[in-house]
Amino acid sequence: MNILKQNNRVDKTKFILSILIISLLVVNNIFAQNENAEHLVAGKHLITGAIGYSYIPKGASKDASEAEGVFVPSIGMDYFYSIAPKWEIGIMVDIEFGEYFIFEKDLNRENAFIVTAIGVYSLTNNLSLFAGGGIELEKHHNLAVFRVGTEYAFKFENGWLLAPGLFYDIKEGYDTWAIQLSVGKSF
C-alpha cells in the first residue's frame, strides 16, 4: 500500500511540474512582443518580497506516524544585481513557517531560515533560470542547500515586476519543491 501511495505522489508531482512548465512556455510566447518595450527598462538593482509554499515529499506533520508529504508556507526577500545584460548575482532569504519531521534522517524542522547565494541567467527578457548554494538554519540542525529554479517576470512601468517562480532545493537529508509569487522593484 505504501508503494502505491509513493507512486501516486510521484505521479502528482510530475503532473504538476509538467503543467507549470507548459504554462510558463505558453505565457512566454504570449508576452514575447513586450520584450523590447523601452518603457520597461529598469536599473541594475532588484529587491523583491515573496510569499509561497514549500512541498516536502519526505516530510510528515508533527503528529504523523509516517511520511505523507507536507506543505509549509513561506515568505522571502531577495536582492539581485545585474552584472551583464543576461546575468545577475544575488541573495535569496526565505523563512518556512511550520514544523515537520523527516523520518528517514530523524530530522525535526521548525521555522527554517534559508539563505542562498544565487546566479541568474535570463533566457528571455521575462524568463530566468537560476542556481546557487547556501545554508538552511534551524534550531535543531543546520543543513547545506543547493537551489535551482525558474521565474517568469511580468514587468511593469517604473521598474515594478510580478514574478511567479518554481524552485527545487537539494538538502543534505531531503529535497523540497517551492512555488512563490514575488513582487519587486528595480532601480
Q: What is the pLDDT of residues 128-165, one digit of tens each?
A: 999 999 999 999 899 999 999 999 999 999 999 999 99
Q: Which CATH class is domain 2-186?
A: mainly beta
86-136: pLDDT as tens digits: 999 999 999 999 999 998 888 899 999 999 999 999 999 999 999 999 999
DSSP of 121-167, one letter per residue?
A: EESSSSEEEEEEEEEEE-SS--EEEEEEEEEE-EE-GGGEEEEEEEE
Q: In what order do the strands lie in the sheet with 107-110?
A: 59-61, 99-102, 107-110
Q: With CA atoms as reference, report the closest residue to 114 among 75, 156, 68.
A: 75
